Structure formats: structure tokens, C-alpha cells
């Protein structure tokens, strides 16, 4: 397959167009951010990249707290609006019709309409050029009960999450696998039980032997996010 080369640029996809909330319950703002992700599992640590000229930047520097709110396809227009208009001139919660919910560990509010929110406390700010990177510890997580199954597992396939790729929004599609599925062996068929009919067959008739193939392969331990002691992990550039 032929390939073409372009000059260096900040391009990767897809990205999570999250709505980051800053401030407090009385005075708050929403900034849409695509440059975010996970840095560490122990301690749970994340980051957001923000331009210093953004209205939210000063609030972040003053409070050192924020909430990353994952967004859905149904919220796409609100996500886009929060990334275009500045909080210095408009109340984005009001204009977008979004609801403030009190966070557990930080002063910044959680967006009630978002399926999952990460409460974060800044530990370091690193200038990187056009953006400053706010590295933060995740101090609490809240999740809408509608995406939690009867076993307490978070089912992201129920959330209808939103993705962003080079200026365009996409609804995430169908699930195509889960962690570890590439190494899973097909279950071996159980051999038939011995019976009189088999025993009475001629000696040259092959009889099924006990197979030693067992589906006991453990999940590979190259993800470093244990769910408990001694356990293993289961499976925009815009912003104002």
C-alpha cells in the first residue's frame, strides 16, 4: 500500500473530546479539551493540555483542581459549543443546558449529563510550547448508574461515547473484542464417554483419547492496572 509523507504536525486520532470543569459550584467554567489521557495507574494520574491564553487557564492555576467529564454523541453540539465560546463572556452551563453536580473531592463541579467523571488535583504544570500540561492525580471517580451492570462493572458500550478526529466528531462504534481475546484458545471438544458400543468395535477402529488441551491460559500481565491487591487487570485542540 502506497504512503505519503507530510511535514511534522500534532495529529493523532481518535481523541476524547472531554468537557473539563474548573472553578467551584458558584463560579465555574467548561473547557472542551482533546489532549488528555492517562499517565499512570498507581498512582492514578492524568493530564490535560491547555493554552495559557484560555480563560480556564487562570482558574486552573489558582485552584489546582478540575474534573474531566467524558462526553457522549448526544452531547456533541454542547461539546462543540464549549470549545468555541469563551467562559469570560458566556455562562456555558446555562447556554448548554447542563447541570452542575457537586464533586466528592474537588471544588470544581461535575457535569451530571456526562456518563463518567474524573476528579483531579494538579501536581505539576509543565510548559510544552503552545500548551501547558497540567499533570494531576485522579482523586475520585463518579459514574452514572445507567452504564453499570448487575455485577458492578462499568459498561462503556452502553455510554455512546464521543470521539474526535482532526476537526470532526464521531460516535464510537461496535465493540470488536476485549483485552486478551487475541490469545484465547478455542475450547476443546470433550471426548465421547466410553460405552459398550465403543468397546465392542473392532480393535482397528480409533477411539477418542483424553485431550490435554485446557483453556487455562491466564491473561497476559502487560497491563499494570490491578483491580486489587495481587490481582490483574481485566479487560481537540479546542479549549476555552
Residues 169-215: pLDDT tens digits?
Answer: 999 988 888 889 999 876 656 666 655 544 454 455 444 444 433 33
* Res. 217: pLDDT tops 70: no
Q: How far apart are CA 63 and CA 108, in angstroms?
A: 9
What is the reported pTM? 0.77
| Rg (the chain; Cα; Å) | 25
User: Which residues neighbour 4 within 8 Å (Cβ) at sequence distance 6 or greater?
Assistant: none
Residues 45-80: pLDDT tens digits?
Answer: 999 999 999 999 999 999 999 999 999 999 999 999
Query: Domains, the chain, ranges and CATH?
Result: 11-240 (2.30.110.10)
Q: What is the pLDDT of residue 128?
A: 97
Amino acid at each position: 500500500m502506497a504512503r505519503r509523507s507530510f511535514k511534522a504536525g500534532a495529529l493523532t486520532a481518535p481523541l476524547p473530546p472531554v468537557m473539563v470543569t474548573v472553578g467551584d459550584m458558584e463560579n465555574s467554567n467548561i473547557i472542551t479539551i482533546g489532549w488528555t489521557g492517562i499517565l499512570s495507574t498507581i498512582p492514578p494520574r492524568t493530564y490535560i493540555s491547555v493554552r495559557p491564553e484560555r480563560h480556564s487557564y487562570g482558574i486552573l492555576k489558582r485552584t489546582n483542581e478540575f474534573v474531566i467529564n467524558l462526553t457522549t454523541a448526544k452531547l456533541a453540539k454542547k461539546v462543540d459549543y464549549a470549545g468555541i465560546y469563551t467562559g469570560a463572556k458566556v455562562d456555558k452551563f446555562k447556554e448548554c443546558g447542563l447541570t452542575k453536580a457537586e464533586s466528592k473531592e474537588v471544588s470544581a463541579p461535575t457535569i451530571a449529563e456526562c456518563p463518567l467523571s474524573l476528579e483531579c488535583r494538579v501536581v505539576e504544570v509543565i510548559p510544552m510550547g503552545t500548551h501547558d500540561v497540567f499533570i494531576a492525580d485522579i482523586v475520585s471517580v463518579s459514574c452514572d448508574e445507567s452504564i453499570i451492570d448487575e455485577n458492578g462493572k462499568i459498561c462503556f458500550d452502553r455510554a455512546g461515547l464521543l470521539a474526535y478526529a482532526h476537526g470532526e466528531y464521531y460516535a464510537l462504534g461496535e465493540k470488536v473484542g476485549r483485552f486478551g481475546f487475541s490469545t484465547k484458545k478455542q475450547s476443546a471438544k470433550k471426548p465421547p464417554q466410553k460405552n459398550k458400543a465403543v468397546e465392542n468395535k473392532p480393535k482397528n477402529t480409533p477411539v477418542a483419547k483424553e485431550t490435554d488441551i485446557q483453556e487455562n491460559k491466564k491473561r497476559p500481565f502487560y497491563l499494570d492496572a490491578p483491580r486489587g491487591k495481587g490481582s490483574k487487570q481485566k479487560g481537540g485542540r479546542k479549549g476555552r
